[in-house]
């Protein structure tokens, strides 16, 4: 009964088990029927979506089979929702002041940046122009700082922070960064309310075009999710990516139309003979610009902005998901 004998037994049983997955899942199905109903509770859900047969084979940096993966992902979405809820709850434990801080923090930040703008640009503008500038700043800063940067920062640490859960449970890992995208979105919602308070408080009109703004928010969300997946993967290999990310977010803030208006950059470029379309190299140029144009000015952005934003967000989302999924089997070993 030593190793040699076991090997012989192993190889003799090798052929009958090397049946196709379809056949063995059918066999398992009949097996399941024979069992008492009480036992089936746990598997019923799985069988609705995927077969209860799991085959694990080496796949080096390859993608998992996509259909079962996305089915499992869809099926486990309550987990992502609960994960995100738990982290929101953990974040504002002392509920009332926690909520206040969620709103106060971005407001103070907006004030700091506005002060900076006043110092740099001078105060020779009219009051009305300053109001528009402040409202534009709030529109873009809140969505950038709370939503987009939140996706990046929390998404990046989602996998490494998953720790024991990753080591001891098997589930589609993509749920972790996606849960953080949801968290960032729900943290952003109160600041969106704050934005409308500011908008109306300064007597600015609410344009009907604002109903199109969610399209740009969606683009930003997809783009942020893609970035979250990429940085979550990178953090497994480079634990200090968070330090680097801080600078990146700061630079991205300055390079995006938050502290300035989109047309300032395009006019400047046109004057020196460079086509302003170059600005779409920065995905946030169209996304934030379109968001603010619709909300603050009630202008419908040009077609190229819609196209640039859509293309960027889809490319980032797909690339991020592919990168993440091709690496996720390695996470358990690397943590």
Residues 36-75 that bind other proteins (CB under 8 A): 38-39, 41-43, 45-46, 52-59, 72, 75
Q: Is 20 in the site for other proteins (CB under 8 A)?
A: no
Cβ–Cβ under 8 Å, residues 228 and 177 = yes
193-230 b/e (C-beta count within 10 Å ≥ 16 → b)? ebbeebbeeeebeebeebebbebbbebbbbbbbbbbbb
- Least gap, CB of 70 to other proteins (angstroms): 15
| Cα 81 from Cα 204, distance rounded (Å) | 36
* End-to-end CA gap in the chain: 37
- Least gap, CB of 236 to other proteins (angstroms): 8
Q: Is 123 in the site for other proteins (CB under 8 A)?
A: no
Q: Is 14 in the site for other proteins (CB under 8 A)?
A: yes
Backbone angles phi, psi at 279, to 5 degrees: -60, -20
- Least gap, CB of 94 to other proteins (angstroms): 15
* Closer Cβ to other proteins, 76 or 280, answer by number: 76
* Closer Cβ to other proteins, 77 or 297, answer by number: 77
User: In the stretch 239-278, what mask flags binding to other proteins with x, by CB under 8 A?
Assistant: xxx--x----------------------------------
Cβ–Cβ under 8 Å, residues 191 and 102 = yes
Distances (CA, A) of 224 to 15, 19, 243, 287, 290: 48, 43, 18, 11, 16
| Cα 140 from Cα 116, distance rounded (Å) | 16
User: In the stretch 193-232, what mask flags binding to other proteins with x, by CB under 8 A?
Assistant: ----------------------------------------
* Residues in CB range of 177: below 8 A, 6 or more apart: 155, 158, 159, 225, 228, 229, 232, 324
Q: Is 119 in the site for other proteins (CB under 8 A)?
A: no
Residues 294-333 that bind other proteins (CB under 8 A): 329, 332-333
Rule CB under 8 A: which residues touch other proteins? 1-3, 6-7, 10-11, 13-14, 16-18, 24, 27-28, 31, 34-35, 38-39, 41-43, 45-46, 52-59, 72, 75-76, 78-79, 82-83, 86, 89-90, 163-171, 237-241, 244, 329, 332-334
């Amino acid at each position: 009964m030593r190793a040699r004998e076991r090997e012989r037994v192993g190889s003799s049983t090798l052929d009958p088990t090397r049946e196709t997955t379809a056949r063995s899942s059918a066999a398992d199905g009949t097996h399941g029927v024979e069992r008492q109903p009480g036992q089936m509770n746990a598997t019923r859900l799985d069988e609705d979506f995927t077969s209860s047969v799991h085959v694990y084979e080496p796949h080096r940096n390859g993608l998992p089979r996509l259909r079962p993966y996305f089915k499992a992902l869809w099926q486990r979405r309550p987990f992502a929702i609960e994960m995100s809820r738990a982290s929101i709850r953990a974040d504002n434990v002392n509920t009332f002041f926690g909520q206040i801080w969620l709103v106060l923090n971005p407001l103070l930040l907006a004030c700091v940046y506005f002060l900076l703008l006043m110092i740099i640009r001078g105060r020779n503008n009219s009051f009305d122009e300053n109001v528009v500038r402040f409202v534009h700043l709030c529109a873009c800063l809140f969505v950038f700082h709370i939503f987009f940067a939140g996706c990046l920062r929390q998404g990046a640490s989602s996998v490494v922070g998953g720790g024991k859960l990753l080591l001891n449970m098997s589930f589609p890992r993509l749920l972790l960064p996606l849960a953080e995208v949801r968290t960032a979105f729900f943290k952003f919602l109160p600041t969106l309310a704050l934005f409308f308070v500011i908008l109306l408080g300064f007597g600015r009109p609410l344009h009907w075009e604002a109903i199109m703004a969610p399209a740009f928010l969606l683009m930003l969300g997809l783009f942020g999710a893609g970035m979250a997946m990429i940085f979550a993967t990178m953090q497994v290999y480079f634990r200090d990516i968070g330090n680097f990310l801080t600078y990146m977010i700061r630079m991205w803030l300055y390079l995006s139309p938050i502290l300035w208006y989109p047309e300032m950059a395009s006019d400047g470029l046109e004057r020196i003979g460079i086509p302003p379309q170059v600005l779409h190299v920065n995905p946030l140029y169209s996304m934030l610009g379109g968001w603010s144009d619709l909300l603050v000015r009630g202008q419908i952005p040009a077609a190229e902005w819609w196209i640039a934003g859509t293309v960027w967000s889809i490319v980032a989302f797909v690339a991020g998901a592919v990168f993440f999924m091709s690496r996720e089997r390695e996470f358990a070993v690397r943590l």
